[in-house]
Amino acid sequence: MSILVNKDSKVLVQGVTGSEGQFHAEQMLEYGTNILAGVTPGKGGQNTLHDRIPVFDSVEEAVGETGVDTSIIFVPPPFAAEAVIEASSAGISVVVCITEGIPIHDMLKVKQIVNQNGTRLVGPNCPGIITVDECKLGIMPGFICKKGNIGVISKSGTLTYEAIDQCVNVGLGQTTAIGIGGDPIIGTTMQDCLELFEADPETEGVVIIGEIGGQMEIVAARWANKNMSKPITGFIAGQTAPPGRRMGHAGAIVSGGDDTAEAKIRILKECGINIAESVADIGIVLKASME
């Protein structure tokens, strides 16, 4: 099994005629993702991606004509929030938003609407999600993955890829890998993902990649300590970051207290999570916990 997406997901690409949408949609098709439609306002009636994919003016049209239920968004920051809202309002159940730089006040509105509509939003500012050998939504390189029984959750795009590679190096493949994004306001949290992986019978272990700033890792760890039956290996990025310094992601800034890397590592250990001291140790620590 998997979480959130699989070979049966009926995929829509919003922003499909833009350069980024074109490039990554092509990659997703090659991976086997079931893309049925694209949306670019004003370009409805065309076909794209070598005439394989019809383009519609609106998500509502695409849903009505093709039955799509999952959307991936490659739309510039000024319009991305409205693209998410449009997808959610049209009944799309899973929306993955790759876009970086969406204003926080826009995301506050988005969060309220997707919650009201029961839409699962992944991102924004994320690499997407991949269920190995079934469906790739986003910019993750599919070739690095191997089918297996490990779930991967990460705030960081590049560290998602590194965690996957370290797992594969010790012979552990993945069920689903999900980059949740590092912005202050995102649609799906670490705890949300842990709940999904705990309920997935094929996932037997989980890797979480966190970073400095915020409380998300701590909230997830405390939930896992009480509710999770599967081993978790964690890594916290930004261990050398000084207080007040922003490190990459908009959410990765230390204000003091228990949002430092040191404090998070201590709390995760207290909650029974196995900690990898470096990225290169993730696979080794995870394999030891699975034995």
Which residues are designated catalytic? Answer: 249
Which residues touch 115 (CB under 8 Å, ≥6 apart)?
A: none
Strands 47-48 and 11-14: unpaired
The 3-class secondary structure across 33-49, one letter per residue, is CCEEEEECCCCCCCEEC
Half-sphere exposure of 277 (CA within 13 A, CB side): 0
> Cα 54 vs. chain centroid, distance in angstroms?
26
Which residues touch 2 (CB under 8 Å, ≥6 apart)?
A: 131, 134, 135, 175, 176, 200, 202
Strands 205-211 and 174-179: unpaired
Task: Report how far residue 44's alpha carbon sits from residue 28's, in angstroms, rounded to the nearest whole number.
Answer: 21
Contact 290, 274 (CB under 8 A): no
Contact 125, 181 (CB under 8 A): yes
Amino acid found at 277: E
C-alpha dihedral, 161 to 115 to 134 to 228, nearest 10°:
70
Task: Report how far residue 151's alpha carbon sits from residue 48's, in angstroms, rounded to the nearest whole number.
Answer: 33
Contact 165, 138 (CB under 8 A): no
